[in-house]
Structure 1
Amino acid sequence: MRLWKTILAATVLALATGTSAFAARTDLVIGIPLEPPHLDPTAGAAAAIDEVLYANVFEGLTRIGPKGEVLPDLAESWTISDDGKTYTFKLRTGVKFHDGTEFDANDVKFSLDRARADNSVNAQKGLFAAIDKVDVIDPATVKVTLKNPQGSFLYNMGWGDAVIVAPETADTNKEKPIGTGPFKFQNWAKGSSITLVKSDNYWGSPASLDKAEFRIVPDAAAYVPALLSGDIQAFPFFDADSVAQVKDDPRFKVVIGSTEGETILSINNKKPPFDKLQVRQAISYALDRKAIIDGASAGLGQPIGSHMSPANKDYVDLTGRYPHDVAKAKELLKEAGLENGFKATLKLPPPAYARLGGEIIASELRDVGIDLEIIPVEWAQWLDQVFTKKDYDLTIVSHTEPNDIDIYSRKDYYFNYDNPAFDKVIADLNLTSDEAKRKELLGQAQKILADDAVVGFLFELPKVGVWDAKLQGLWENAPIQANDLTKVKWSD
């Protein structure tokens, strides 16, 4: 009887003092490969800055969601003038920065004027080039007037480079970031980790996590041991070659998503014989995407048929436009007067997807009569020879900027592509804010690029995430550079 009472007393004590043992945990350690150079998204191009701070510490007028959609953020709503040049933002009220100061329209004007100023150090200053002036109407209303309509303006305002900062703390954000987000900065142990904690005065839905530590792990070989030991619970960007070691372990989730990295076989469209449509189409038919994806991205890349990420809400699946067909490729070369094939060069920059993919593509084109000389180049050479001087036949590169389909309309761009019909679609897109119309135009743009076989569309660079199976809310895809923790929680 005495033993039973002892057990009962211990159980009551455990229930009274140790219920947290049965509750979901509220801390998280996330592994990231690169340490940011500083912590101010408005003053640096490094993706690692946004991967820690975007949506967590800093917020903008708008924000980009997990599917690449534009969502309200510090602006709860907006109206657009009939001429598409004036945006009037209704701001959220009761918002405070982490140092306790109030957020209002003056902070928006300061941030946008600072980003577009002549002495701006913003890495994406071009995002603000269309702004003519910013007027404060009242503390909760700001009016932005553009020099010309810009259909992507609301999207641009959702970039990490466009987050809103306070004039009182803007100059010290590199070391001590002060934002309005659901997490506030606690500590930066240089070379080791950056720690965020839950903000107690957040204007929106509070975060489920009380603490998040971004642990810097530059060595990919350390990823699996860190997961297995429990030291780190999530790697949003995992090493693709290490996936096999954890994919069958029920303790972890392996999530394969998309990035904004369209990986393409770039073609110099004005250089004979690539100026002939039949030749470019023959190349597209010669490409076996599955073999390329297996060899260049550990089988994890998603095939693409035009220049848009499969994760984008406006993506059109055109991968069936050019099925792998050697006979069709040879037929098109014959139509182009090249029945006996021809020789060309393939300049390959350093990334593995290019060097490995290049070997496969050279073999596939050889099967249809195109004999490629592979020329490895360093990035500096690639930028000089290929990107700047357009001194190339073919090359392989991944274009990682979001929503960059307009690059094909740039007359000085290294593709050397010129199609007035495509240019017209892009011009209309730039003047259009209506989402349904933009979707229609983006669909047209993708189809034109596929029909013209401007480049060989290969695959989207994969986003490989591995994390604890009980963890919920991390992004599957990467429409922008972010590890958004606002919806992340542990299941019970």
Structure 2
Amino acid sequence: MKKGNRYVVFIGILMLIIITSMNGWKLVSKKVLSSKKNKKLIIARANDSISLDPAITTEIESFKVTVNLYDNLVKYEKKGGKIIPSLAESWKTSEDGLTWVFKLRKNVKFHDGTDFDAHAVQFNFERWMNSDNPYHTGYFSYWSYNFGGFPGIVKSVTAVSKYSLEIVLNEPYAPFLSTLTMPVFGIASPDAIMKYNENFRQHPIGTGPFEFKSWRAGKEIVLTKNNNYWGNDPKIDEVVFRVIESNEERLKLLEEGKIHIADNLTAKDVERIEKNQNIDVYLRPFFNIGYLAMNNQKEPFDNKEVRMAIGHLIDKDRMVKEVFNDLARPANSFVPPMLWGYHENIKSLEYNPKKAKKLLIHAGYSKGFNTTLWVMDTPRAYFPNPMLLAEFIKESLAKADIRVEIIKYSWDEYIEKIKEGEHTLILTGWTGDHIDPDNFLYTFFASDNRRTELTSNYSFYNNKEVDILLKQARQATDKEFRKNLYRKLQEIVNENTPAIPLVHTMPIIGVSNKVKGYVPHLTGKETLEDVDLISKR
């Protein structure tokens, strides 16, 4: 072989070695990259979501998911009640409280790649507030509750420039900024809304830290990390909201390490969890109310003496011990005790069956009466064991010959039926959406909230004085004055007894100690971008 040919062969062999080595490196690199563990956070809960379009839902299980898909203009800080920027970088209001101008964040994208700007926000508001808007499909209940109908107190929403938004109100609204923190007012992609319209509930697209991947109804919802999130880069690659109806099964899976967070556990589970070094117990604050609503438009509950008799028949101390295992607080008012405006001097109707019987006799029901009690079939934050509570109420009312038939419904059917006003007695409750007494008292007792399909006043209570005070409290800007109005409102409601406040609970969450950065929020809805999974503590 000639020297030149040998040189060519040598070069060829050398190139082959280099190429082979490079390919080998590529294969090794891919293997190394693919070996990077996908961080999947699994959250088990008793109930599925109903809609992933926050604008048309009213229930917490949907909001637990949507807060991770959508951002609001403003939000609460994770560990407190201070309102901080989100999609809006800053804001200012006029002296009369009627005009609000928001400066919006730039370079933000919706999950579908479209731009977030003031026109997108205007589109969302016009969809929410105008009942004749072509994309106002479904029941926008929360808008109606908060803004007094369609369009209610909002006069106009205008994109002043690409990143400046002006909102003009017809009248002052003290809780306006805190209302905008509510999950229902998450900003959605206009393109996606126009594309899916009434089916948008199953195709959610926002700007949040996670994107929608899949939903198997009754089974699980899967979200994936938004790699282009404008805020803190999410540490988890995938979040799974899994439906496990049984408390026992949720706890068992947590103990086995098959899930990371188990929501709505019972008081009986706490002792068991505390013996497990791999699980931590979190208790949410008393920021809810579980209550017995009586339909004031139906006999015999249109009679105040009958309603008071019901209150005298319920031994709340025994109820808290036997039904809630002492991990709850008897409720005297419909405002949680940790919320400003709570009236500490309000007292429940004392447990007194003899007085209850006298009231029933005076009301014309000496032999008692028959009635029905509706109850949901799965746990809620305020009722971890709703059927046990229903049985307790039935037994309590029987002491005055009130014969109760318990009727159980699935959660999604339950919330649809109680809005129709067909019930007599129902067990229901509320976890606060934002830190203002208006969110409780106006929601429960404003006469405007008795409208079919938009109902949140499940007692169908109607009191002109209450309506006037509720409106005054919304329009007043002085917090101390508002506080006094809410205290007066609690006195009136307590005296009229349209419903019976039962308990404030501390919802129990079991969390694997592999979870880092999880901060339960008092509203029961957390964004998860700061949550991480570690192999060892």
Measured at CA, do residues 276 and 141 of structure 1 come closer, stay the same or move farther in structure 2, by a change above 3 Å?
same
Q: Go from structure 1 to structure 2 and tell me whether the alpha carbon gap of 1:389 and 1:146 turns closer, same or farther (over 3 Å shift).
A: same
The Cα offsets for residues 329-373 of structure 1, whole Å up to 9 and x where unpaired, read as 639947995899662444211336565334434544566xx3211
Structure 1 residue 300, shift from structure 2 partner? 3.6
Pair 1:473–1:167, CA change in 2 (3 A):
same
Q: Which amino acid aligns with 1:202?
A: Y
Q: Deviations over 1:453-487 (max 9, x none)?
A: 3322111355221111353544545526x332144
1:161 to 184, 199, 221: 184
- What do the CA deviations read for 1:140-164 (whole angstroms, capped 9, x no partner)? 2101123444444334423333211
Q: Map of 1:183-262 to 2, 5 A cutoff?
A: 183-185=209-211, 187-188=213-214, 190=216, 193-207=220-234, 209-220=235-246, 221-238=248-265, 242-243=269-270, 245-257=272-284, 262=289
Contact 2:118 2:163 in 1 (8 A): yes
**Counterpart-to-counterpart distance in 2, 1:385 and 1:189:** 25
| One of 101, 108, 132 as aligned partner of 1:95 | 108
Cα RMSD (Å): 4.2
Alignment deviations for residues 172-193 of structure 1 (CA, whole Å, 9 cap, x no partner): 6656644322x23273274665
Q: Distance in 2 between matches of 1:474 and 1:103?
A: 28
Q: Which amino acid aligns with 1:236?
A: D
User: Quick one: which amino acid aligns to residue 70 of structure 2?
Assistant: F
- State the Cα distance separating 1:431 from its structure 2 match: 2.0
Q: Please point out which of 122, 140, 153 is paired with 1:124.
A: 140
| 2:332 aligns with one of 298, 305, 308 | 305
Structure of higher CA gyration radius:
2
Task: Supply the AA of the counterpart residue of 1:266.
Answer: A
- Is 1:50 the equivalent of 2:63? yes
Unaligned runs of 5+ in 1: 1-24
Match of 1:397 in 2: 427
Do the aligned partners of residues 271 and 296 (structure 1) sit closer, same or farther apart at CA in structure 2, a change above 3 Å counting? same
1:142–1:436 distance in 2 versus 1, CA, 3 Å: farther
Rounded to whole Å, the distance in 2 between the matches of 1:115 and 1:386 is 23
* Match among 40, 44, 62 for residue 74 of structure 2: 62
Post-superposition offset of 1:214? 1.1
Match of 1:113 in 2: 126
Q: Deviations over 1:233-282 (max 9, x none)?
A: 11233366655543432321222335875322334557788677676556
Q: Which residue does the alignment assign to 1:488?
A: 531
Structure-2 separation of matches of 1:227 and 1:331: 45
Offset of residue 62 of structure 1: 2.4
State which of 67, 70, 75 in structure 1 corresponds to 2:88. Answer: 75
Where 1:349 maps in the other structure, the secondary structure is: strand
Q: Distance in 1 between matches of 2:305 and 2:319?
A: 22
Q: Is the alpha carbon distance of 1:451 and 1:88 closer, same or farther for their aligned partners in structure 2, counting shifts above 3 Å?
A: same
Q: Which amino acid aligns with 1:409?
A: A
Q: Which residue of 2 aligns with 1:429?
A: 473
Shift of 1:89: 1.5
Instruction: Quote the Cα distance in structure 1 between the aligned partners of 2:158 and 2:107.
Output: 21
Question: For 1:80 and 1:288, how far apart are their aligned partners in 2?
Answer: 48
* One-letter identity of the residue aligned with 2:282: V
- 1:7 corresponds in structure 2 to none
Q: Which residue of 1 aligns with 2:381?
A: none
Task: Tell me, in whole angstroms, the C-alpha distance in 2 between the residues paired with 1:177 and 1:339.
Answer: 54
- The answer to whether the aligner puts 1:471 opposite 2:518 as a matched pair is no
- What amino acid maps onto 2:406 in structure 1? P
Asked if the contact 1:291–1:360 (Cα under 8 Å) also holds between the matched residues in 2, the reply is no
Q: Between Structure 1 and Structure 2, how many residues are aligned? A: 458
Q: Which runs of 5+ in 2 are unaligned?
A: 1-37, 144-149, 378-384, 433-438, 451-456
Q: Supply the distance in 2 between the matched residues of 1:396 and 1:110 (Cα, whole angstroms).
A: 38
Taking structure 1 as reference, are residues 57 and 247 closer, same or farther at Cα in structure 2, changes over 3 Å only? same
Contact 1:110 1:166 in 2 (8 A): no
Give the deviation of 1:428 after TM superposition. Answer: 0.7
* Displacement after TM superposition at 1:377 (Å): 3.4
Relative to 1, partners in 2 of residues 1:224 and 1:391: Cα closer, same or farther, differing over 3 Å?
closer
Q: Is 376-385 or 108-117 further displaced after alignment?
A: 376-385
1:97/1:178 contact within 8 Å kept = yes
State the match for 1:459 in structure 2.
503
- SS of equivalent residue, structure 1 residue 377: strand
Deviations 1:289-312 (A, max 9, x none): 13223444454443221113456x
For residues 428-470 of structure 1, the C-alpha deviation after alignment (integer angstroms, 9 at most, x for no partner) is: 1232355554444333323332244332211135522111135
Q: CA offsets per residue over residues 36-70 of structure 1, 9 Å max, x none?
A: 4664434656654432231x231011235666765
Q: Does the 8 A contact of 2:312 with 2:350 survive in 1?
A: yes
The 3-state SS of whatever aligns with 1:397 is: strand
Q: Mark the CA change 1:359 to 1:61 in structure 2 (over 3 Å): closer, same or farther.
A: same
Alignment identity in percent?
23
State TM-score, norm by structure 2.
0.70
The Cα shift of 1:100 comes to: 5.1
Indicate how the Cα distance of structure 1 residues 26 and 356 shifts in structure 2: closer, same or farther if over 3 A, else same: closer
Is 1:140 the counterpart of 2:163? The answer is yes
8 Å Cα contact 2:122/2:158 also seen in 1: yes
> In structure 2, how many angstroms separate the alpha carbons of the residues matched to 1:68 and 1:371?
46
Distance verdict in 2 for CA 1:102–1:275, change over 3 Å: closer
- Distance apart, 1:110 and its partner CA: 1.6
Distance (Å, rounded) in 1 between the aligned partners of 2:307 and 2:139: 35
Counterpart for residue 15 of structure 1: none
Alignment CA distance shift 1:330-1:152 (3 Å): same
Which of 340, 352, 356 aligns to 2:388? It is: 356
Kindly indicate whether residue 446 of structure 2 is the aligned counterpart of residue 409 of structure 1. Answer: yes
Residues 261/30 of structure 1: CA separation in 2 closer, same or farther (3 Å cut): same
How many Å apart are 1:80 and its aligned residue? 2.9
Query: Partner of 1:445: helix, strand, or coil?
Result: helix
